Amino acid sequence: MNGSLFAALSAGKDLERTALISGWERPLSYGALFAASARMANRLVELGVAPGDRIAVQTGKSAETLILYLAALRAGAVYLPLNTDYTPAEVSYFLGDAEPALFVVDPAATQAGEALVAPIGARLATLGTDGKSGTLIEGIDALPATFADVPRTADDLAAILYTSGTTGRSKGAMLTHGNLLSNARTLIDAWRFTAADELLHALPIYHTHGLFVATNVALLAGATIRLLPRFEPDAIFRGLETATVLMGVPTFYTRLLADPRLSRERTKGVRLFVSGSAPLLAETHRAWEAATGHRILERYGMTETNMNASNPYEGERRPGTVGPALPGVSIRIVEEATRTPLPAGQIGMIEVKGPNVFKGYWRMPEKTAAELKEDGWFITGDLGQLSVDGYLEIVGRGKDLVITGGLNVYPKEVETEIDALDGVAESAVIGVPDPDFGEAVTAVVVRAPGSAISESEIREALAARLARFKLPKRVLFVEALPRNSMGKVQKNLLRENALAAT
């Protein structure tokens, strides 16, 4: 039996039903989507992509990019999406680590792409967002609309997504066909998805939330996806006229709440609003219900695990929590040093176990062994507590990871860049609660003796080295960083001081 994710996504579909709509134009039926993915899979084989090869993709959001994702699954390749905001310096690390056979970029990035693939010997292809441009789709209509899908087992890799930590470089989380399929099936049941749904999709598709949660769930259910290039209030309000589900990050909801057009009438056709990727403030939850009559469903997931917990579709959606563990997933709170389970109401490290948990970190056996234990439990690095009735509350992150606008930023990378600047003695990067982004990246800097380096100078220098979402939204200056007796910077004190300064 073929354990491929695509085999499940394509099974039993009404081929006449609309699968994808790019904005308000170019609707694609399921039949047309599958034919397009077959042609794309044939193109990948033409380019020498073999089963198990990695395909790195840094392109804009479009139907064609999702078709490429499906084609990679069909060809037995491993899909590796990259944030379009990553700089060439950042991308060079991912390519060197993953060693893809093919790197796909926007046509405008051809020159930069050629320089990036040269050291690793990968092929370069281009793909635009207009459905017409790029070497990947030139003459593609002449290719067969059928493809002999490469059989995959549930344990075969489907994707690698790079995630962050607090030290070292990014880690490639290896996700299998079984990981992704089990989670999509669970979410369809938990969130009551059917072929009658229309998902308003304004999330990026280089991220777990937009690529796996939103796309896989909707396609597996046979629903329609209305694909928007990005979050933009005018487009969201237009989309709400026909959509039944909106998946977003807290930023979506805070910005819509600030728009006078938001009302019960505008949202009456929507059955479900989902929020994730960053903490949703309880006040945002309550304000949304007051404005629309809907209670946002908040859930908890990670790159390494997809979704772990969710507030219920029917039942209490409790503000400030991410709900109970999803069916088939186990969550426990343990004492960090001994991994001894803790009772309800006590704060400790969150561990997760289930078919959704990833296979390990790409070419990092030591990291894998440290975080994915032999007993099957994954140490998330998040701190939380469970209520007596099983609702999970996230209270912090042991790894000091910063999640801003749903995207992960690990402090060490930003600190390294700041510390390299003339005029900086040392720095520490923290996340400070922010109603719009969940957390705001904040740098605390100690100037070198005699230096007068400013906030604007630091931000300007970092702009050429880091993706925009990693740039500090604020730079605070101090005489010295607080340290404990072991010399470790006390970031909890920095957060308290930063909050007091706001």
Distance separating alpha carbons of residues 37 and 15, to the nearest angstrom: 14
Per residue in 275-318, pLDDT (tens digit) is 998 778 888 999 999 999 999 999 999 999 999 999 999 999 99
Indicate whether 139 pLDDT > 90.
yes
pLDDT of residue 484: 66
pLDDT of residue 340: 96
Distance separating alpha carbons of residues 441 and 474, to the nearest angstrom: 7
Question: What is the arithmetic mean of pLDDT over 105-111?
Answer: 97
Per residue in 441-478, pLDDT (tens digit) is 999 999 999 999 999 999 999 998 999 999 999 999 99
Give the contacts of 350 (CB within 8 A, at least 6 positions apart): 331, 332, 333, 380, 382, 383, 384, 392, 394
Indicate whether 485 pLDDT > 70.
no
Indicate whether 131 pLDDT > 70.
yes
CB 23 within 8 A of CB 199: no
Percent of the chain with pLDDT over 70: 97
Is 100 strand, coil or helix?
coil
Phi, psi of 381 (to 5 degrees): 85, -5
Predicted model pTM: 0.86
Q: How far is CA 107 from the centre of its chain?
A: 24
What's the one-letter identity of residue 11?
A
